[in-house]
Amino acid sequence: MKIFVDSAEIDEINKAKEYGMCDGVTTNPSLIKKAVDKLKSGGKKVDMANYISDICKVAGRDSPVSLEVVSLKAEDMVKEGVMLYGKFNGLMGNVVIKVPVSTSRQEGEEHYEGLKAIKDLSRRKIPVNATLVMTPEQALLAAKAGAAYVSPFAGRIDDYLRTKLGESFGKGDYFPAEGKHKDGQLVDDKGIASGVELVKRTMEILERYGMKTEVIAASLRNARQVREVALAGAHIATIPFDVLEEMIKHPKTFEGIVKFSEDVVPEYQKIFGD
């Protein structure tokens, strides 16, 4: 499974690269806002074009960087996608355009603008990451429209189910892959009992039809969720930097390294020189 860094912070992308744990980067307007706010609070001015260029350069040639469009109409999203690709892909050849699978904000609005934009950009050979995917059906439609990647949002589906359950929860809290029951009934979202199940079913459908679209398990909130999307066979997990750090830690590893360090006898140490 490839690991993408779900961040627009250059320091984090840099560190993940140093760890050898960055096969790509995903950004969205909220992640860009977080990075920009941080820079501004540190008294820095932000030139967005330079900043995005730096993200693309730090990620490097073989690491796709998803950059999201902001408009809601297909025609405008296509213009933005073409512009972003034209402006930044020349640097490292790694730009992917992120397009919401649907941009309607309520019933009654046009639901197919996202899919139209995905289709148009894909036909122009611009790779698209279909984002805000909340059901396997949306993923199937995006894949059929030609998306190179689809991003099912595991954490947000868990949030949705927890809200249905009437639970209060923290962003990083674990939600079981098998779902939860209320009044003896499994609480689900049209048959999907957890974010991990969303990723699993999406994988099953795309694999069954031999589709080339890669599945990016997104909106991941904790290390155990990463394990479960890996077990579900996700091609890629896009992981926030704090979760990437959580993945490496364990108290028994800490304890073990303390003991091993204490037990190094001088005769053994000598082998390594002074």
Q: Which residue from 156, 162, 180, 227 is in contact with ligand E4P, where contact means CB under 6 A?
A: 156
Of 85, 50, 121, 68, whose CA–CA distance to 238 is shortest? 68
Residues 18-57 that bind ligand E4P (CB under 6 A): 26, 28
Sign of the CA dihedral with 163 first, then 192, 188, and 132 last: positive
Q: How many binding residues for ligand E4P (CB under 6 A)?
A: 11
Select from 136, 152, 155, 179 the one that contacts ligand E4P (CB under 6 A). 155
Residue 72 burial class via C-beta count within 10 angstroms: exposed 0-12, middle 13-18, buried 19 and up: middle
**Catalytic residue flag (residue 79):** no
Relative to beta strand 214-217, strand 185-186 is: unpaired
CB 113 within 8 A of CB 122: no
85 is a contact residue toward ligand E4P (CB under 6 A): no
Does 219 contact ligand E4P by CB under 6 A? yes
Residue bearing tokens 């890669």? 214
CB burial class (10 A; 0-12, 13-18, 19+) of residue 82? middle
Q: With binding defined as CB under 6 A, does residue 79 bind ligand E4P?
A: no
Using the rule CB under 6 A, give the single segment among 135-143, 152-160, 191-199, 246-254 that binds ligand E4P: 152-160
User: Which residue number places its CB atom closest to ligand E4P?
Assistant: 219
Q: How far is the CB of 239 from ligand E4P (least distance, A)?
A: 9
Only segment of 17-25, 79-87, 151-159, 184-192 that touches ligand E4P (CB under 6 A): 151-159
Both tokens of 12, joined, read 């984090």
Catalytic residues: 98
List contacts with ligand E4P (CB under 6 A).
Answer: 6, 26, 28, 131, 151, 153, 155-156, 218-219, 238
